[in-house]
Structure 1
Amino acid sequence: MVTARDLGMEAVSEDQTIGLRYPKTMEDAVATASRLWRYDVERREFLIGSVFAAGAVSAASRDWLIGSPREELAYTGTGTHVSMSDVEQVRALGDEFERLSHTFGSQRIRRHMVNYLRYDVGPLLKKSRSDKVGRELLNLAAEFTAAAGYMAVDCNELSLAERYYIQALGLANAADSRSYGAQVMATHMGHLALYADHPREAVQLAEAARAGTRNGDEPLATAVTWVVEARGYARMGEARACQRALSQAERHFCRSNPSEAPQYLQYFQQAYLSDAFAHCFRDLDQPDSASKFAALALRDLPQTHTRRRAINTGILAHASLHKKEPAEAAAHGIEVVQLTQQLHSPRALSRVARLRRDFIPHQKDADVATFLEEADGLLKRASV
C-alpha cells in the first residue's frame, strides 16, 4: 500500500502550516522558528500566497494563557559557548534593522532581518549557554521575530506576519517572559487583528494579555493593552467603551516612566499615546479630536520616524476632509505623498491609495486636483 506519507503529502501539509501552531516547549519553539526563518529566506510559494487565518491567533492566545512550566534554559549544544557579549551584539544589530525600518520602510530591510534571524540568531540558539544567557537570547529571538512580523505587515503580508507573531509568542514563553508575551499578544497580534478587520478579536487579545501577565502591574505595558482595546472598540463604533479604554490607557501611562520600562516598551512615549487617540477619534468620526491628537503626535515624533509621521499626517488629511476643508486636506495629502516617497513600504502606498479615494468627491477643487495628480504619480512609479 502506498500511503500519503510515501507520496510526501503529509510533509507538504505540515510545511504549509509552518508557524501557525503555537509551540509549547523550548525545543519546539526553536525548531519551528528556525524552519519559518529558513522557508522565508527561500521565499517558499505557500508563504507568499497564503491568507490570514483568524482562528490561528485565537488558538495561540489560548495556549499562551494556559502556559507551561518553566524549563531549564541552560543548553549543552555544539560549538562555542554563547556569552552575554554575544547577546549584546545580537541586540545591537537587530535594533539597527528596526531603526532603518522606521525611517525607510520595510520592503528592503525585511529580508535583511530575516537573513539575520536565519543565519546569525538561529545558530546561536543551538549552542551551549548558561540559563541566564539562554533566557536573554530566547527573549531577543522573540523580539526580533516579532519585529520581522511587523515588517511583513508593512509589506502587506498579513498571513506571514501572523506566523511570525505566533512564533514570537512561543519564543517568549520559552524564555519564561510572560511580560513580553503579553506585549506580543496586545501590540503585535492585536494590531494585526485590526489590520485584518477583526476588531473584536483585537479587544479580546488585549484583555487576554492583561489576564495572562503574572509578573505584576507594569504601568506602561498595561497602558499598551488598553490602547489596543480602545482601537478595537473605536473600529466597531462603540464610543463609550472606547473612551473608557482610552481613559485607562492614559491613567496607566501617567503612572509610568518609559525610561525605566523594559527596552521593548521604551518606544511607547507620549507621541504614540497621542497617535492611538488620533486613530480612535478618526474611526469614531470625530475629526476635531482626531486632528488635535494627530498634531500632538507629529509634534513629539522624531523626524526619523518617517512612516509614523506619514500615518499621522494622513489622519490630519482625513479629518480636514470631514470638516469640509478640502484645501487644507489636500495640503496634508501632498505632505503624505512626500513622506511616502521616502519609504519602501507597500502598506504606506496602500494608505495613499485609500486616502486618494476619500478625495474623489472633491476632485473639482483645484488644490485637491494637485493632490490627486501627486498621488497618481507616486502610485504609478511604485507599480513600475
Structure 2
Amino acid sequence: MRQRGRLAALRRAAGHTQEQLAHLMSVDRSTIHRWESGASTPRPWQIDKLAVLLEIPQREMRSVFFGDSATGPAPDGGAERTAPAATHAAPLTALPGPRDSREPDPAPGRLAAVDALIGDWAAVNAGPSPAATSLWVTGEEIAVAEGMLGMFRQLDHTHGARHHWRQVSSYIDNELDALLRRPAADEHVARQRAQLTVGFCELAGYQAVDTGNPDRAQDYYQRALTLTTATNDQAYGAYLVAVNLAHLALHRGHPQTALRWAASAHAAAGTTASPSTRAAITAVLARANARLLREHEATALILEAEQLLNTADPHDEPPWIRYFTHAYLADEAAHCLHDLGRAPAARTQLTDALHGVGADRVRRRAIDAALLAATWLRSSDLDQAVAAGRDAVAFAARTGSGRCVERVAGLLADMRHHGDYAPVRDLRDFVRAVLPEADTLAVTMTSDS
C-alpha cells in the first residue's frame, strides 16, 4: 500500500485530478481510485499508458504496482488483477450455466469485484479507441510551446507582469493543458513537456509575485518543484527552491525560512548542477544571511558565487539560467550590501548591474535604480537620491510591474521627512504624473508607519 501511494503522488505531480486521469485513460474515476488505493491493478497496456501520461519511465511505473524488483505482470499479460480478497476464486474451466435457484447468492465481495471488472471493461470499450481519437504530442509541438515561453519571458522582463499575466495564465490553462492531456510520442518528448511545464509554472509564479499575489505564486512554484521531482531534474529543483521559493520567503519577510530553504537547495545542487545554477543558488543564500546581518557569511557566499560564475560557459548552461550573468550577480550583491548598511559598496555593485543588465530589462533597471536612490538617501545625499529616484520612476512607468511600484513607493515613504526640500517635492509631483499608484501606496505606507 505504501508503494501504491506513489501513484497518487505521481498523478498530482503531473497536474491531474482523478477525474482528469480517468478521462485520459478512458476509464471511470472509481477505477483510478481503486488503482491508487491498491484495490485493483491495471492491465499491462494500461500501465504503459499511465507511464506516458504521468511522464515517467515504464519500468518505474511498473514498480509502482509490482515492487521495485519486479519487471511487470506475469507473461500471460492477463486481465486486471484485483486485491487479495478477490483473487481466491477458482479459475473457470467451462462456461457457467443458469444458476440453480437453490444455490446461495455469491459473496458480496465477489460480486463487487465482478461488477468493477465489468465497469472497467465497459468504460474501456465505449466509443472509439484512444488511438483513433488522440494525436501524439511531438517534439515539434514542444518546440513551438518553448518559443511561446521564451516570448512570454521576454515580455515579462520588459513590461512586467501586469500587462501579460492573463495571457500566460490562459496559455497554461488551455494550450499547455491540451498538450498535457495527450500522450507523448516517446519518453524524450514526455520529459521535454514536463520541463516546459516547469518553465511556465515558474514564470506564472514570478508574475504572481509581481502582481501582488504571493500565495498564488507559491502554488505555481510548488507545482513546478513537484514536476522536477517526478522527472528527476535535481538541478532545476534546487534552483526553484532557492531562487523562487526562498526569494519569495524573503519577499514576505521570513529570512530564517529563506535561509533554511536556500541551504537545502545549496546542498542538493552539490557539484552536479551547472556553474550558473550554483552561483544563483549561492547568491540567494548570501541574501538570506545578509538579511540576518551575518556579514562574514554573506560576503564569503557572494565571493563563492562570483567564482562559480567565472567558470560558466553560457553555451553549456540550461536555457532557464542563462539570464544569470555578472550583472545579475552584482544586483544580488548590492541588495546584500544595502541590507548590511554598506551603502557606498552597494552603489558600486549597482553601477555594474545597471550597465550590464541590458536595456530591454526595464523592470530590473527600475528596481536597481530605486535601490541606488535608497543608498544615496542613506548617505544623506538628497540630490543624488532624487536623481536616481527619477530614473527609477521613469523605468517603472514603462512597465506594469507591481514590484517596481512598491520600490518607488518605499523610496517616497523614506523621503517623507524631507518633503519641504524642493527637489523632493518635484520628484513627488513627477510620480503623481507618471506613476500615480506609487504615490497612493506611499501615502498608505507613511500613514501605517
TM range (shorter): 0.7 to 0.9
Structure ID, larger Rg: 2
Q: In the alignment, does 2:246 pair up with 1:246?
A: no
Residue 95 of structure 1 aligns with which residue? Answer: 150
- Partner Cα distance (1:190, 1:147) in 2: 16
Once the two structures are TM-superposed, the CA of residue 283 in structure 1 deviates from its matched residue by 0.9
Residue 30 of structure 1 aligns with which residue? Answer: 14
Once the two structures are TM-superposed, the CA of residue 250 in structure 1 deviates from its matched residue by 1.2
Residue 356 of structure 1 aligns with which residue? Answer: 412
**Where do residues 337-352 of structure 1 align in structure 2 (5 Å cutoff)?**
337-352=393-408
> Which residue among 41, 51, 71 is the counterpart of 2:56?
71
Residue 277 of structure 1 aligns with which residue? Answer: 333
Of stretches 354-363 and 306-315 in structure 1, the one that deviates more from structure 2 is 354-363
- Greater relative CO, 1 or 2 (CA 8 Å, sep 6+): 1
**Where do residues 29-48 of structure 1 align in structure 2 (5 Å cutoff)?**
29-31=13-15
Identity %: 28
Superposed CA RMSD: 2.5
**Where do residues 202-241 of structure 1 align in structure 2 (5 Å cutoff)?**
202-213=258-269, 216-241=272-297
Q: In the alignment, does 2:193 pair up with 1:137?
A: yes
C-alpha spacing 1:73/1:272, structure 2 compared with 1 (3 Å)? farther
| Residues 215-273 of structure 1: per-residue CA shift (max 9 Å, x gap) | 72422111111100110111111111111211211121112122320001100011101
Q: In the alignment, does 2:168 pair up with 1:113?
A: yes
C-alpha spacing 1:220/1:209, structure 2 compared with 1 (3 Å)? same
Once the two structures are TM-superposed, the CA of residue 214 in structure 1 deviates from its matched residue by 7.0
Check whether the contact 2:283–2:301 (CA below 8 A) recurs between aligned residues: yes
Residue 216 of structure 2 aligns with which residue? Answer: 160
- Partner Cα distance (2:18, 2:163) in 1: 21
Where structure 1 has 5 or more consecutive residues not aligned to the other structure, the ranges are 1-21, 36-69
Q: In the alignment, does 2:190 pair up with 1:125?
A: no
- Partner Cα distance (1:23, 1:357) in 2: 52
- Partner Cα distance (1:262, 1:338) in 2: 33
Residue 376 of structure 2 aligns with which residue? Answer: 320
Once the two structures are TM-superposed, the CA of residue 301 in structure 1 deviates from its matched residue by 1.2
| Residues 188-207 of structure 1: per-residue CA shift (max 9 Å, x gap) | 11110110111111121121
C-alpha spacing 1:366/1:145, structure 2 compared with 1 (3 Å)? same
Once the two structures are TM-superposed, the CA of residue 345 in structure 1 deviates from its matched residue by 1.8
Query: Secondary structure of 2:395's match?
Result: helix
- Partner Cα distance (1:34, 1:231) in 2: 41
Where structure 2 has 5 or more consecutive residues not aligned to the other structure, the ranges are 1-5, 20-54, 62-129, 442-449
Check whether the contact 1:32–1:167 (CA below 8 A) recurs between aligned residues: no
C-alpha spacing 1:188/1:23, structure 2 compared with 1 (3 Å)? farther
Q: How many residues align?
A: 329
- Partner Cα distance (1:23, 1:155) in 2: 35
Check whether the contact 1:136–1:175 (CA below 8 A) recurs between aligned residues: no
- Partner Cα distance (1:34, 1:372) in 2: 54
- Partner Cα distance (1:214, 1:251) in 2: 15
Check whether the contact 2:269–2:278 (CA below 8 A) recurs between aligned residues: no
Check whether the contact 1:23–1:32 (CA below 8 A) recurs between aligned residues: no
- Partner Cα distance (1:239, 1:34) in 2: 50
Amino acid at match of 1:288: P
- Partner Cα distance (1:197, 1:32) in 2: 33
Residue 188 of structure 1 aligns with which residue? Answer: 244
Amino acid at match of 2:387: A
C-alpha spacing 1:381/1:356, structure 2 compared with 1 (3 Å)? closer
- Partner Cα distance (1:283, 1:126) in 2: 46
Q: What TM-score, normalized by structure 1, do the two folds share?
A: 0.80
**Where do residues 263-274 of structure 1 align in structure 2 (5 Å cutoff)?**
263-274=319-330
- Partner Cα distance (1:82, 1:152) in 2: 29
Check whether the contact 2:396–2:404 (CA below 8 A) recurs between aligned residues: yes
| Residues 122-167 of structure 1: per-residue CA shift (max 9 Å, x gap) | 1211212111100110011011101100000000111110111000
- Partner Cα distance (2:379, 2:146) in 1: 45
Check whether the contact 2:289–2:295 (CA below 8 A) recurs between aligned residues: yes
Check whether the contact 2:162–2:400 (CA below 8 A) recurs between aligned residues: yes
Amino acid at match of 2:134: G
Q: In the alignment, does 2:306 pair up with 1:306?
A: no
Query: Secondary structure of 2:380's match?
Result: coil
C-alpha spacing 1:29/1:376, structure 2 compared with 1 (3 Å)? same
C-alpha spacing 1:24/1:269, structure 2 compared with 1 (3 Å)? farther
